[in-house]
Amino acid sequence: MDCAVIYGKKSAQHHHFIEAGKDHFNKVLGVPLEGIRTVYTEEGTKLMYNNTDLCEFDAVYLRLLGSDLMYGEHIPEVLRDNDVYTQLDSDSLAIASNKFHMMKVIADGGLPVPKSTYTLSTKETERAGNMLGYPAVIKIISGYGGKGVMKADEQSDIGPITDTLTLFEQDICLQEFIDNPGEDIRVIVVGDDTYAYKRVGGDEEFRSNISTGGNREKIDPSEEMIEASKGAAALTGLDIAGIDIIEDESEEGKFYIGEINASPGVEGTGEVIPADLADEFMEVIKRKAMEEKEL
């Protein structure tokens, strides 16, 4: 069986999957997103990379972050039309590329998310802030790695931030702030399995992302967290996902799903979880691709 790993410009970890995939597939081809030509032919739509038709592969692992998610939105549908397995559904990328959209989908599915709003102007963001109360969290809808996530302690913090965001034509997701000491729990869903670790942000930092100075710690997540994470991955149509869980310090056991990541990072996770995640991801992709062939 053959597998392609498609990666966007913002991806930094695709080489781990290309390497790990060699233990599971006969051939693994790394494909940059900007190297793909989507072509409509009499036989339907194809994805060409140089002279290679990616729709002839058995499986494709899509690694896209931030705005690259939008450019790749059509790819899962084309692959599925050609019976190629991918780890996500046709509408997964549209959901995962927008932090407000993903909150809505998860909330509609009955899972706990921070109260969220979606706005395009400073005036409406201030009105949304009055509704949610302060502190609040302002997010660029397509940010990643903690970038584009800011805190507003009071209404007067909104204007300078959202004036800047709208100048750069960024849509805004304003969220209620969940009271916690700058930590969250990252649950990795891989097929039917889950792994989890805690991320602890740097000093005076409310963002717990590793790329903004956070550290990983071992943790035993609750059964509720695992079930909610699996549910969130299923609602967004992802066989492989990273779920950010934010615990509410003001109430024992209470937590919210802060975000779904369609391309979770794996680097450094071997220190806190008993698995080689790159290998696990590629193993699940192979298994699911085989299962689909047998149907």
Residues that bind ligand ADP (CB under 6 A): 99, 114, 137, 139, 143-147, 149, 175, 177-178, 180, 184, 206-209, 244, 246, 258-259
Single residue of 259, 278, 285, 286 touching Mg ion by CB under 5 A: 259
The C-alpha atoms of residue 87 and residue 190 are separated, in whole angstroms, by 10
What is the DSSP secondary-structure string of 208-252? --GGGT-EEEE----HHHHHHHHHHHHHTTBSEEEEEEEE-TTST
The C-alpha atoms of residue 68 and residue 77 are separated, in whole angstroms, by 16
Single residue of 2, 68, 176, 244 touching Mg ion by CB under 5 A: 244
**Are 234 and 227 in contact, with CB atoms under 8 Å apart?**
no
HSE-up (13 A, CA, CB side) for residue 56: 7
Residue number, 101 or 286, with CB nearest to Mg ion: 101
Q: What's the sign of the alpha-carbon dihedral 66, 71, 77, 83?
A: negative
The identity of residue 20, as a single letter, is: A
Instruction: Give me the least distance between CB of 63 and ligand ADP, in Å please.
Output: 15
Instruction: Give me the least distance between CB of 92 and Mg ion, in Å please.
Output: 16
Residue number, 150 or 282, with CB nearest to ligand ADP: 150
Instruction: Give me the least distance between CB of 118 and ligand ADP, in Å please.
Output: 14
The C-alpha atoms of residue 214 and residue 199 are separated, in whole angstroms, by 6
Residue number, 3 or 243, with CB nearest to ligand ADP: 243
Q: Which among 88, 59, 63, 58 is positioned nearest to 76, based on CA atoms?
A: 88
Backbone angles phi, psi at 274, to 5 degrees: -85, 50
Residue number, 72 or 258, with CB nearest to Mg ion: 258
Residue number, 21 or 66, with CB nearest to ligand ADP: 66
Instruction: Give me the least distance between CB of 136 and ligand ADP, in Å please.
Output: 8
Stretch that binds Mg ion, among 116-124, 170-178, 215-223, 240-248 (CB under 5 A): 240-248
Residue 143 interacting partner from Mg ion, ligand ADP, none (CB closer than 5 to 8 Å by kind): ligand ADP
In the complex, the residues that contact Mg ion under the rule CB under 5 A are 244, 259
